[in-house]
Amino acid sequence: MEEKSKDYQKKYRKKNKQKIKKYREEHKEYFKRKNIEWNKKNPNYNKDWREKNRIDIRRKRREWTKGNEGRVVEYTKNWRKKNPEKLKVNSNGNKKYPIKNKCEWCGSTYRLQRHHPDYSRPEYVITLCAYCHTKTYNNEKGGKTKCLVANQKTKKKKQ
Ligand SMILES: [Zn+2]
| Residue 147 burial (C-beta neighbours within 10 Å; 0-12, 13-18, 19+) | middle
Half-sphere exposure of 86 (CA within 13 A, CB side): 11
With CA atoms as reference, report the closest residue to 122 among 152, 158, 154, 95: 95
CA distances from 32 to 24, 25, 26, 29 (A): 10, 10, 12, 5
What is the Å distance from ligand 1's center to 134 Cα? 9
Domain locations in the chain?
A: 48-82, 96-159
Report pLDDT for 157.
44
Measured in Å, residue 115 CA sits from the centre of ligand 1 at 11
Residue 114 phi, psi dihedral angles, 5° rounding = -90, 135
N-terminal to C-terminal alpha carbon distance within the chain: 52
Q: Amino acid letter at 6?
A: K
pLDDT in tens, 83-138: 887 887 776 656 777 889 999 988 888 888 888 888 788 788 889 888 888 877 65
- Sign of torsion over alpha carbons 142, 65, 92, 129: positive
Q: How far is the CA of 10 from the centre of ligand 1 (A)?
A: 37
User: The whole model's pTM is what?
Assistant: 0.46
Ligand 1 centroid to residue 121 C-alpha, Å:
22
Least confident of 23-32, 45-54, 82-91, 101-110: 82-91
What is the model's pLDDT at position 55? Answer: 92
All residues with CB under 5 Å from ion ligand 1: 103, 105-106, 108, 129, 132
